[in-house]
Structure 1
């Protein structure tokens, strides 16, 4: 790929949630919880594991690239020509967890995907917070 790295776009969403990193981690790694806030899946928190996220509109091919329990989770997110990486970073904060999601890898010609991610991720994180509020 001969695109300068400065041209690659990222979507970043950050939230402070009133739940400990262990609980946030479960919501990011348990398939039945992921399905509640994101999409149907066969996720396993294991480096190299390939899984698919599926929704009414289609699916996303994913592969886990990094797992550091309660701290970092990263996976490839490939859909409709987009090859990107989603990275979750959990940092303990005074009253819970600072949660950071970054999806990187959008090329300048992928504005539709980039705008879709900018629109979609805050909604997914809203759903995630609702799952955290009711999950044990």
Structure 2
């Protein structure tokens, strides 16, 4: 069975944040903090750990940790299965932290959107802007 290879699209959001990488890493990897800016979860920063992200909208994402480099890189699958196959999503989210003179450049890249998934792609572009705005609020509060 040979699968047709299709071009996939990525959503990339970059934010310069006035916080050290260590602090942002905490918010990316501690379940109670993840719940505040992203979704409820049973995350652990352990390679191969399988976990769920549970959205307020009732959806559940199946995830698996693919890369963990403390204070630098975090990557996990972001898979969603829907009754309507058009909404099924197989993607990977990667956070990259780069120290700057005034804090950290946070880069979030989500890869794996099929060309026909315009709604999911558009939703992710908007969604990540909101998630990262929430993250900035959490960071400002946790000190």
Stretches (4+) displaced over 3 A? none
How many angstroms does 1:2 deviate by? Answer: 2.0
1:55-74 equivalent positions in 2, closer than 5 A: 55-57=55-57, 58-74=59-75
Q: How many residues align?
A: 134
Could you report, residue by residue, the CA deviation over 1:26-70 in whole angstroms, capped at 9, with x for unpaired residues?
A: 000000000000000000000100000002221111000000000
User: Equivalent residue for 2:103?
Assistant: 96
Task: Check if 1:106 corresponds to 2:85.
Answer: no
Extract unaligned runs of 5+ from structure 1: none
User: Equivalent residue for 2:80?
Assistant: 79
Task: Check if 1:135 corresponds to 2:136.
Answer: no
TM score, norm. by length of structure 2? 0.91
TM score, norm. by length of structure 1? 0.96
Extract unaligned runs of 5+ from structure 2: 82-87
Structure with larger Rg: 2
User: Equivalent residue for 1:19?
Assistant: 19
How many angstroms does 1:73 deviate by? Answer: 0.2
